[in-house]
Chains A and B, each alone.
Chain A
Amino acid sequence: MNKAPIEISDAIVSDAVVVEHSRITGGYRRLSLRVPDIAAKVQPGQFVHLRVPHLRDRILRRPFSVFKAEGDELVVLYKCVGIGTDVLAYAPVGERISLLGPLGTGFPDPDPGNCPVLVGGGYGAGAMYMTAARSARPGIVFIGGRSAEDILCAEDYRQLGWELRVTTDDGSLGRRGLVTDALDEWLDEQTDDARLEIFACGPHPMLKAVGERAIAIGCRAWISLDRPMGCGVGACLACVQKIRSASGEWEYKRTCKEGPVFECRDICWEDEA
């Protein structure tokens, strides 16, 4: 149960205009939207709830994490994974798209005393870009995917001056293996684990594995979760996640409101198949 219910969010509904929409690689796309009143307010790790135009008999909004928010515009990266994103892929420049946002509790700013470590899988790599751009110091980013076409945002992080490690399951780009293999290798070389601070977004098995590393070495890890979502504003209680409470028990917290970002020690992963 949520202890601080009486908080009115500053999220709004606004008609965004598509200013650029392009295929990046594989089934991944980059959608740039002009939506000044939301773009100005987005914080790192927050998301927008998007109503896909022309979706006909599919009625719910879809949540998208924000990749970049600059000036009047924000950018989301997505992969065509179902009917919503398949239809969204046809949205032309100039199309109006209803956005609800910004939503959720995102990543905290990296502690300037720590070395920030980002771990991203697939389009999750984009969700930490704003954190990197705001960081007082550059850190290291690990990006993993099945194949070369699943590696996104590498150049964006490089341009920020961040060290980059890429892994692919098939070895078609970077090191062959899981992103956590590369992370383990790098962690082994570090001398002061407690001064690291991890930020992660990607598939749940990856996030769980990253959280386990953070707990083992004694550093913090901020994990961005993706859950089936209804309203996006905390009303429907569909997107809940078991979160450890002070008493050692757990309680359901809303991924759309208290999340999507949680510290790894607070997440109860027992639901995961």
Chain B
Amino acid sequence: MTAPDMRIEIGGLKMRNPVTVASGTFGYGPEYAGLIDLNRLGAITVKGISPAPVSGNPTPRIVEVPCGMINAIGLQNPGMEAFCRDYLPFFENYDTPVIVNIWGRSVEDYAAVARRLDGEELVAAFEINVSCPNIKEGSKAFGTRIDSFRRVVDAVRAVTAKPIIPKLAPQVASIADYALAAQDCGADGVSLINTIPAMAIDLATRRPILGNVVGGLSGPAIHPVALKMVWEVAGAVDIPIIAMGGICEAKDALDFIVAGASAVAVGTENFANPGAALQVLDGIEEYLKANGMSAIDELIGSLQT
């Protein structure tokens, strides 16, 4: 039997298979390049980039909790110029499309990063981070107020013809409304979910464990929550979905695809198992073969309810 056709498209973004990595869990690419073959990934999604350098939150920035972890990194990044100069050329060695996660503290910031990176051939698409729970100003409100959300997506759409993929916040009354707004503003796809706002306390000191007090929960704990949201969004919009939230193995990714996602991103599990994304990819392909499917398209949104 021939190998199933794993190719998917999100706007003009052509992926050889539906598996990417979640922004923030995979650095800028080189960190994992010695551990896995980056050319096997469907896309590489890099850590969030803002116009100017950002030093991030005070430490501690991470705490492990049952079935997950809470992080409050604070989007530490070198800024868009240093990213283009120091990090982006690395991808000349690979033929995997690069999705750049972009964020800002104002609508103008988002437009500025998208405009700057629009001219970079190595940038295949933008993931618009409107939902990081660890930034005190701006960014959080963009993901949880639909008027601000629209303004950001509009502003990015106005400065680039590359595919744009807003990343949706889970802490809203109806995530489908945000996906519809994204579609309405001309987004090529949506990704979901970002981490869920969370915190942890050290009872010995009665202080928050994280330097930022609060952070975002990721890992297998959030998979069922993400799955329900992906299913809701899939029922509401026509644009493709990149699903993420607690994928540890192929089964978790297959759940998302059956629920309606066209692509999936492996996040926290990369830390425990750097080979996770490729194992998920192999598992998806095996599932398609075992079920006599010739293309991933046959599986997307095939949930029977």
- Does B30 touch A at the CB level, under 8 Å? yes
- Does A92 touch B at the CB level, under 8 Å? no
**Neighbouring A residues of B82 by C-beta, 8 Å:** 1
The reply to whether B32 and A235 contact each other, CB–CB distance below 8 Å, is yes
A237 to B35, CA, bound (A): 18
The reply to whether A60 and B56 contact each other, CB–CB distance below 8 Å, is no
- Given A5-B87, A237-B61, A240-B59, A13–B272 Cβ distance below 8 Å? no
- Does A100 touch B at the CB level, under 8 Å? yes
- Given A233-B32, A234-B31, A58–B55 Cβ distance below 8 Å? no
Scan residues 1-47 of chain A and give those whose CB is less than 8 A from a CB of chain B.
1-3, 5-13
**Neighbouring B residues of A238 by C-beta, 8 Å:** 60-62, 71, 73
- Does A158 touch B at the CB level, under 8 Å? no
Spot the interface stretch: B231-239, B263-271, B292-300: B263-271
**Neighbouring A residues of B26 by C-beta, 8 Å:** 235
Smallest beta-carbon distance A59→chain B, Å: 5
The reply to whether B28 and A11 contact each other, CB–CB distance below 8 Å, is no
The reply to whether A240 and B27 contact each other, CB–CB distance below 8 Å, is no
Scan residues 250-300 of chain B and give those whose CB is less than 8 A from a CB of chain A.
268-275
The reply to whether B25 and A236 contact each other, CB–CB distance below 8 Å, is yes
| Interface size in chain A (residues, C-beta < 8 A) | 38
Give A250's nearest chain B residue, CB to CB. B55
A61 to B271, CA, bound (A): 7
A166 to B79, CA, bound (A): 49
**Listed residue (A6, A12, A57, A236) with the most chain B CB atoms within 10 angstroms of its CB:** A236
Scan residues 157-200 of chain A and give those whose CB is less than 8 A from a CB of chain B.
none
The reply to whether B275 and A228 contact each other, CB–CB distance below 8 Å, is no
The reply to whether B34 and A8 contact each other, CB–CB distance below 8 Å, is yes
- Does A251 touch B at the CB level, under 8 Å? yes
The reply to whether B271 and A5 contact each other, CB–CB distance below 8 Å, is no
**Neighbouring A residues of B77 by C-beta, 8 Å:** 1
**Neighbouring A residues of B12 by C-beta, 8 Å:** none
Scan residues 224-248 of chain B and give those whose CB is less than 8 A from a CB of chain A.
248
**Neighbouring A residues of B270 by C-beta, 8 Å:** 231, 235
**Neighbouring B residues of A213 by C-beta, 8 Å:** none
**Neighbouring B residues of A251 by C-beta, 8 Å:** 55
**Neighbouring A residues of B30 by C-beta, 8 Å:** 5-8
A3 to B274, CA, bound (A): 24
The 8 Å CB contact of A60, one of B32, B47, B78, B271, is B271
The reply to whether B90 and A228 contact each other, CB–CB distance below 8 Å, is no
- Given A59-B219, A271-B59, A11–B34 Cβ distance below 8 Å? yes
The reply to whether A230 and B53 contact each other, CB–CB distance below 8 Å, is no
**Neighbouring A residues of B32 by C-beta, 8 Å:** 233, 235
Smallest beta-carbon distance B72→chain A, Å: 9
- Does B58 touch A at the CB level, under 8 Å? yes
Give A1's nearest chain B residue, CB to CB. B78
The reply to whether B76 and A230 contact each other, CB–CB distance below 8 Å, is no
**Neighbouring A residues of B273 by C-beta, 8 Å:** 13, 51, 98
Scan residues 16-37 of chain B and give those whose CB is less than 8 A from a CB of chain A.
24-28, 30-35
The reply to whether A232 and B87 contact each other, CB–CB distance below 8 Å, is no
Give A4's nearest chain B residue, CB to CB. B86
**Neighbouring B residues of A252 by C-beta, 8 Å:** 55-56, 76
Q: 12 A-B contacts, Cβ less than 8 Å apart?
A: A1-B53, A10-B34, A11-B34, A13-B35, A13-B274, A58-B64, A59-B67, A228-B59, A231-B25, A233-B274, A235-B31, A235-B47
Q: B-contacting residues of A (Cβ < 8 Å)?
A: 1-3, 5-13, 51, 57-61, 98, 100, 227-241, 251-252, 271
7 tightest CB-CB pairs across the interface, nearest first? Answer: A235-B27, A238-B62, A235-B31, A231-B271, A1-B78, A8-B34, A57-B66
Q: A-contacting residues of B (Cβ < 8 Å)?
A: 24-28, 30-35, 47, 53, 55-56, 58-64, 66-69, 71, 73, 76-79, 82, 86-87, 89-90, 219-220, 248, 268-275
16 additional A-B pairs beyond A58-B64, A60-B272, A98-B273, beta carbons within 8 Å, are: A1-B77, A5-B87, A6-B89, A6-B90, A8-B33, A8-B34, A9-B31, A13-B274, A59-B67, A231-B27, A233-B32, A236-B24, A237-B47, A239-B61, A239-B62, A240-B76
